[in-house]
Structure 1
Amino acid sequence: MRTWRVGTFSMGASLLFLGLFLFFSKFLDLNLVQIMTAWWPLLLIVLGIEILLYLFLSRQEKPMLKYDFLSIIFVGVIGMVGIGFAVLNTTGLINKVEEVMAREERSFDLPAYSYQMDDSIKRVVVRTVGYDMTIEATEEKEVSMFGTYRVQTGKKEKLLKSADDIIAANKKGDTLYLNVKMLPNEVGPFDSQGIIAGTILVPKDVKLEVIGNNNSLTLKPRTLANDWNIESASSIVVDVTENSNLKVAAVGVENVSGKDGEWQVSGKENAEGADYDGRKNAVYQSGEGKYRINIANAYDVSLNTN
């Protein structure tokens, strides 16, 4: 007479259910991780049913359960794998791994930002956080920002829902403070920081101060009618027209470049135009130089004249 050992039926049933789940996942577009997370409780149900059936069908007065340990170990391993998937899914790590595997670089438009100026605002202070920015003077009576950002993401929706997610504005007295924010970034070993290519438009007749963070800045003063102060940027490109009434003063910079004769080196300098600590002071002037762009603590300043 064949001996029934508890576990044999459970192992067969577990293989059958797992095979069916995997088979139908191809047609129903089921997620493999979801299958491994959800199906494993069936193992306990099948094993429990098998034990109850054995006790019910056994004709012994005091039936003794006999287990097929190899089958029990097999079922236990599959069950532990399922429990592991469930635990990881609860902690969010599974979703994180899925997102990383599906990642690709995507570009999105920055949410458009604008702040209507009034006569009480005499100065604008812009603090950047390491992204490349273009600062341009405009005839409009508003401060605005637009551009694009590029991130690695497995999601198709935008990271930034509104302008408040990327820039903060505070008016204090006669000064408007604009703080550019970092792109959202979850802390983790798989995350990478995105990049921004933005343009900020500032009324030409308002004094401007830009505080960089070792980033690259492109300045387009156009018909500037006030002074600009720029500091702590790594690389600065200044686009100026030859008939502008502008003076560009670069103080304490490593390198200056442009057409021959455009820059005049000044300050404490050696024969090569560098002061005692290796930094240069240089001045460019167009017209009477009524309005100034003062640049400090930059590595490289390049002049484009047209």
Structure 2
Amino acid sequence: MGIVLIFFGFILLISQLKTQNAAIILIKGWPLILVLLGLEVLWRYYTLKDEQTKIKYDILSIIIIGAICATSLGLYVFTQVGVVSRISDMVLNQSYKMDAKVSEFIVDDTVKKLVIDASGLQLNVRTSQNNKVTAQAKACIRANSKEKAQELLQEQEVVYEKEGNTVHMSFNRPISGNISVNEYDIIVPANLEVEVYETSAIKFICQQIQSDWYIFDTGNVDITISENTNVKLIALVENQESLMGNVDWDIDDQDPSGNKDLPGNSKSLRYEATFGSGKNNIYILESGDITANKLL
């Protein structure tokens, strides 16, 4: 046991000098403890010359040895299935909230439409007069250093694919359990027609858009209408209680159950709100609650 005590003291000293976690070092070095105990018993056995003082084993000794072996086997199993690594992450890692590097796609004159496939993501969207689409991820990361967090952040990716006059935008999220990317800030050229699919939620600051927008199969929608904006909101909802904010909605009396030209539940009610000339439309189809506010 003396050798084992020396070993434990040595491990604790090294962990202090190298600022490593002693518990993790001991778990990973547990097999060496078994080796040291075995060597100590053998050394003790062969160095005793008096046969009457040779080592004897009782029931308690056998139980202790059995417990040590069972503990060793349990630690091995936990290590193999990843439990130890998860405990290590919980003990050693810190939480970092970070913004990824801005991803951009230059839009030329041949591009007329942007299709955003944002399955399960929250999007914060605004328009600009620039000729490029930009996206920036917001991530929560657990890592043992800021440098490691930056490395994990590189695993997320925004994918742009051009097909004819349409750009398809999608998101590759990291598979590591130490990083969560659920939100993106997106800036879109005002002249593009836009389709957004399957977001968990979307916040849209609507300025002077120059084409129609379609928001399909999404969670809650939050739209802020800037001053002097010429746009019409068209929402298909199952009841008026889904509409919130300071905007006055009007039900379409001519087609109160929806629109045959628009996909959606046949039981949906069609509500509209017009700002300025209402030149361009924003269609909100199959969503959760809709909050629309006009800047006064």
TM range (shorter): 0.7 to 0.9
Choose the corresponding residue for 2:228, options 218, 243, 249: 243
**Counterpart position of 2:244:** 257
RMSD of aligned Cα (Å)? 3.2
Cα gap change, 1:37 to 1:224, in 2 (>3 Å): closer
Matched, 1:49 2:43: yes
Residues 168-225 of structure 1, C-alpha deviations (whole Å, 9 max, x = no match): 2222222111112344343xxxx8x835332111111111100124x22112231111
Gaps of 5+ in 1: 1-11, 270-275
3-state SS of paired residue (1:194): strand
**Counterpart position of 1:122:** 112
Residues 107-129 of structure 1, C-alpha deviations (whole Å, 9 max, x = no match): 11123110111122211100112
Choose the corresponding residue for 2:166, options 165, 168, 175: 175
**Counterpart position of 2:260:** none
Q: Matches of 1:173 and 1:43 in 2, distance apart?
A: 72
Q: Matches of 1:78 and 1:234 in 2, distance apart?
A: 54
Matched, 1:108 2:95: no
Cα gap change, 1:26 to 1:171, in 2 (>3 Å): closer
For 1:194, give the aligned amino acid.
S
Matched, 1:291 2:277: no
> Shift in Å at residue 142 of structure 1?
0.7
**Counterpart position of 1:268:** 256
Question: TM-score, structure 2 length as denominator?
Answer: 0.78
Larger radius of gyration: 1
> Shift in Å at residue 72 of structure 1?
5.1
Question: TM-score, structure 1 length as denominator?
Answer: 0.76
Q: Matches of 1:74 and 1:295 in 2, distance apart?
A: 69
Cα gap change, 1:47 to 1:299, in 2 (>3 Å): same
For 1:199, give the aligned amino acid.
D
For 2:182, give the aligned amino acid.
I
Choose the corresponding residue for 2:217, options 218, 232, 235: 232
Residues 205-255 of structure 1, C-alpha deviations (whole Å, 9 max, x = no match): 111100124x22112231111111111122112222342221111123542
Contact preservation (8 Å) 1:129, 1:182 = no
For 2:279, give the aligned amino acid.
K
Matched, 1:33 2:24: yes
Choose the corresponding residue for 1:223, options 187, 205, 208: 208
Stretches of 4+ aligned residues off by more than 6 angstroms: none
Residues 46-97 of structure 1, C-alpha deviations (whole Å, 9 max, x = no match): 223334435xx4689xxxx763234454345335434543453344321211
The 5-angstrom pairing of residues 150-229 of structure 1 reads 150-151=140-141, 153-156=142-145, 157-158=148-149, 160-162=152-154, 165-186=156-177, 194=180, 196-213=182-199, 215-229=200-214
**Higher mean C-alpha deviation, range 142-151 or range 250-259:** 250-259
Cα gap change, 1:46 to 1:126, in 2 (>3 Å): same
Contact preservation (8 Å) 1:21, 1:35 = no
Q: Percent identity?
A: 18
For 2:197, give the aligned amino acid.
I
Tell me how many residue pairs correspond in the alignment.
275
Contact preservation (8 Å) 2:160, 2:168 = yes
Contact preservation (8 Å) 1:100, 1:154 = no
